Chains A and B, each alone.
Chain A
Amino acid sequence: MPERASSYAAEVDWAFNFVFWISVFFFALIVILTVVFAIKYRRRPGVEADNSITHNTKLEVFWSVVPLGLVIVIFWFGFSGFVDMRTFPKDAMVVKVHAKMWSWSFEYPNGVESTTLHVPLGQKVKLRMDSSDVLHSFWVPAFRVKQDVVPGRYTYLWFEAIKTGTFRVLCTEYCGTGHSTMLSAVEVQSPEAFKAWMAEESSGKNLSPVERGKKVFSLKGCAGCHTVTKDRKKLVGPGLYGIFGHEVTLAGGKKVLADENYLRESILDPNAKVVNGFPPIMSLIPLKDKELDGVIEYLKSLKD
């Protein structure tokens, strides 16, 4: 099991170990008996099997009832742990989690957004999660929490971090080509450090359009499908470095010049003009006017 960084990780591990040792016991029993019998009663000339034993109801009831008792105990531990996971504390800080192919973004009560989840140590946090496309699943192994994110409804989970550090967030519900890169992180900070971070984020209102665009580009998950590096590496979507002012070949062979209007249309109505060789899977990501403007400025800035 990975390191424990949430309040109920210990409980989960306890249940895990409990089941583990029960399993070890029964597994050892099975293997030892199989091997011992296979050796001790292996076929020898002149030795016949003892065919007088065909059943023994007492024994059979015994080995039905004992496992039954054990699994009820196991169920109970799992159940009480589960109840803790599903009983939402009233005093929790609520963070909204937006999942989409193939990125996570986090929105705090004061409206600040980020691509990694920042939480203060010892604070109960409740996540309200939504997906704008398909099923995803939010997993933090170090916290032992997991919850599917379902389009068309909200799902929730909560945790209390007990250790500072950076912990991995992974998507565990298969969601297409970029599934395995749909990663993020939880940064558990001391309450002071969290406050400082939050102050800095919320003060950043007067960014230049390019800086704003850059931020939006990662927050809105564009980076999950597009690279912005010079090598113009393809992910699911085309690399966007140097796109502005270049000619783009569309599906069907038509060529268009990537001017501001083309970029705008590509973002606001992604499937109106589809780039040659790519599937029309970019979905509409709602942007505010200022954000859209920023992104376009940012894309224009990607050049030598």
Chain B
Amino acid sequence: MTSIPMPEEGTLTTKPVVDETNYLKSAYGIKSWLLTQDHKRIAIMYMIGIGIAFLLGGLFALAVRLELWTPTKTIVEAATYNKLFTLHGAIMTFLVLVPSIPAILGNFVLPMMLGAKDVAFPKLNLLSFYLWLLGAIGFVVVLFAGDLDTGWTFYAPYSIRTQTAVALAATGAFILGFSSILTGLNFMVTIHKMRAKTMGWFRMPLLLWGLYATSVIQIVATPVIGITVGMLFLEKLFHIGFFDPKLGGDPVLFEHFFWFYSHPVVYVMILPAMGVISEIITAMSRKHIFGYTFIAFSSIAIALFGFLVWGHHMFVSGQSSLMSTIFSLLTFSVSIPSAIKVFNWLATMYKGSISLAPPMLFAMGFLFLFGIGGLTGLFLGTLNTDVHLHDTYFIVAHFHYTMMGSALIGLIGGLFFYWPKIFGRMYSHLLGTISFILIFVGFNLTFIPQFLMGSMGMPRRYYNYPPEFQAYHQWSTVGSFVLAAGLFTALWCFIHSLFRGEKAPDNPWGAVTLDWKTSSPPHHHNFDIVPPVTDPYDMDDVYWDEESKGYISRSQQAALQELAAGVSGTQEKNS
């Protein structure tokens, strides 16, 4: 703390961070954004980019749902329908969910949580963003260039034989993969090297454990998808037989490659969301997290076990029965750490002082939706029931509960939580609550009917379907529009906040982690003086201050006062 520039006097007692400037205003002009190396500005660029991708993916989803209103043709032809669901899935997974929380919230808060100025390699961070952008544009090009219709899984040999733009999409995925690796690498090094001096591993906020585990997965798994799409590319262009039996390849091998990456990737989506939920629940309940070590280690356990279960997507693929059995057993082992987390969150709420502001509503929504997502995973890990349920709407519902209902709700909840910090503005709690209710109701209305029809015999990726499922499909379509209305309400709530929102206090929720001990919004270098590191969930450290309408940290104040005394002490000596 000693080598840090001296704060101005006067403002010292009420405001922990004295620099008046704000990273949003530290420089102006389009170049100051596009070429920035500030992790916070990069986070905002991701937010906009991913937001646009999400909008696009969402519109495709609505088109898919509309088409399914009737059992035969409703609005588009079969070929177009296949293109729509492929684009929806590919955009949502590769462009939205994989980067989402790490790139937006992680980028923003990770250095601040560590008490650092920035990530370890700020230039690399900017490069990741541009790689993402390049990959994203690649996908949009595919949209205009051709009829990509393989589904987001690109299963061979269909993906090799079809006349569609798979090669282009594969290149896009390849570039996106690089972006993902670089972000993971950056975060990992930052966490290792740039923690505040007194921050041991077990004084790190749980979100960082989540992001750390995520980084491990990204670094280990992503090269495999890079290799896979590379092979796909070679096979398509030069007819080298890897996966197509006509050329002497094996399609099941492709499935192995694909899921070796794509199963861990679902944890890339969920682990950061779990981290965010840990932060929200403890802050909004004003209570110390329950079972810190169990939660921290369960993140690592999920990341490690997550590598060993890919074969559960292939129980009926033709892999050997012995392999299926082993994969089933391992799959169940992953469900335990997830269960532990849920119980710990509940125990954290116990005897808390729970605020029902929007972030907490989303966190509670997460518990509900992740509960369904995780428990339905049990049906799929069970061998004989999965044989029936595989590749039906049951799967579709399961992974939407986990990916959208959990990972994405985690992101939205996290946005509501960190919004005051990011933009220095509060938002309308009423709008936030309305958006939550619409999202929650719409989501369940969309996907519960899908569980029902899946178990009754409705396969996935069907353009036409047996008429007895029409009522379920129609409910689902209605639900998807309610859900969309909820998401637009949230967007409206955020935009409204930017223009009309009240000024946010530095710490509106009473969180104890370092990121809340900066100004809202933080200034360019995050901290003038790195606040003392405490137990990140020691709620006694912060108290409500009526005047600033926010919470104030005792330890930080004490440190600042001490420093001020030291400063005036030296001044006295000097004079």
> In the assembled complex, which residues on chain B have CB atoms less than 8 Å from the CB atom of A85?
384, 387
Question: A71, B372: Cβ atoms under 8 Å?
Answer: no
Contact with B along A278-295 (1 / 0, CB 8 A): 011100000000000000
Which of chain A's residues have a CB closer than 8 A to the CB of B456?
1-2, 141
Q: Cβ of B290: which chain A residues have Cβ within 8 Å of it?
A: 53-56
The verdict on B201 contacting chain A, using a C-beta distance below 8 Å, is no
Pick from A11, A23, A59 the residue with the most CB of B within 10 Å.
Answer: A23
B540 touches A170 (CB 8 A): no
B353 at the interface (CB under 8 A from A): yes
Tell whether, in the assembled complex, residue A174 and residue B158 are in contact, meaning their CB atoms are under 8 Å apart.
yes
What distance in Å separates the Cβ of B87 from its nearest Cβ neighbour in chain A? 14
Contact: B78 with A30, CB < 8 Å?
A: no
Cα A68 to Cα B336 with chains together (Å)? 6
B155 within 8 A of A: yes
User: Is A242 an interface residue when CB atoms closer than 8 A count as contact?
Assistant: no
Question: Which of B7-15, B231-239, B324-332 is found at the contact surface with chain A?
Answer: B324-332
* Interface of chain B, main secondary structure: helix
- Whether A50 sits at the interface, judged by CB under 8 Å, is yes
- B364 adjacent to chain A (CB < 8 Å): yes
The answer to whether B293 touches A152 (Cβ under 8 A) is no
Asked whether any CB of chain A lies closer than 8 Å to the CB of B376, the reply is yes
Chain A CB within 10 Å — which of B316, B360, B381 has the most?
Answer: B316
B367 touches A74 (CB 8 A): no
Q: How far is the CB of B26 from chain A (nearest CB, A)?
A: 36
Taking a contact as CB atoms under 8 Å apart, the answer to whether B251 and A82 are in contact is: no
> Are B375 and A180 in contact (CB-based, < 8 A)?
no
Interface assignment of B102: CB less than 8 Å from any CB of chain A: no
A49 touches B328 (CB 8 A): no
Q: Is A60 an interface residue (CB 8 A)?
A: yes
Contacts of B430 in A (CB 8 A): none
In the docked arrangement, what's the CA distance between A178 and B162, Å? 13
Q: Tell me whether A198 is interfacial, beta carbon within 8 Å.
A: no
Segment with Cβ contacts to B, from A103-111, A143-151, A204-212: A143-151
Query: What 1/0 mask marks residues of chain A from 33 to 45 whose CB sits below 8 Å from any chain B CB?
Result: 1100110011110
CA–CA, A125 to B464, complex, Å?
A: 30
How far, in whole Å, are A152 and B367 apart by their CA atoms in the complex?
A: 45
Quick check: B292 and A55 within 8 Å, CB to CB? yes
Q: Is A267 an interface residue (CB 8 A)?
A: no
Nearest to B346 among chain A residues (CB) is: A33
User: Which chain B positions have C-beta within 8 A of A48?
Assistant: 286, 353
**B340: interface (CB < 8 Å):** yes
> Whole-angstrom distance from the CB of A127 to the nearest CB of chain B?
13
Q: B456 to chain A: closest CB distance in Å?
A: 5
Question: Mind listing 15 A-B residue pairs with CB under 8 Å?
Answer: A15-B385, A34-B349, A38-B360, A41-B349, A42-B354, A42-B356, A48-B286, A54-B291, A54-B292, A71-B333, A78-B382, A133-B161, A134-B158, A145-B387, A175-B158
**A residues within 8 Å of B by Cβ?**
1-2, 8, 11-12, 15-16, 19-20, 22-23, 26-27, 30-31, 33-34, 37-38, 41-44, 47-51, 53-56, 59-60, 63-64, 67-68, 71-72, 74-75, 77-79, 81-86, 133-135, 137, 139, 141-142, 144-148, 150-153, 155, 168, 170-181, 279-281
B interface with A by C-beta (< 8 Å): 78-79, 82, 149-151, 153, 155, 157-158, 161-163, 244-246, 249-252, 285-294, 316-318, 321, 324-325, 328-329, 332-333, 335-336, 339-340, 342-344, 346-347, 349-356, 360, 364, 367-368, 371-372, 375-376, 378-379, 381-388, 390-392, 455-457, 459-466, 537, 539-540
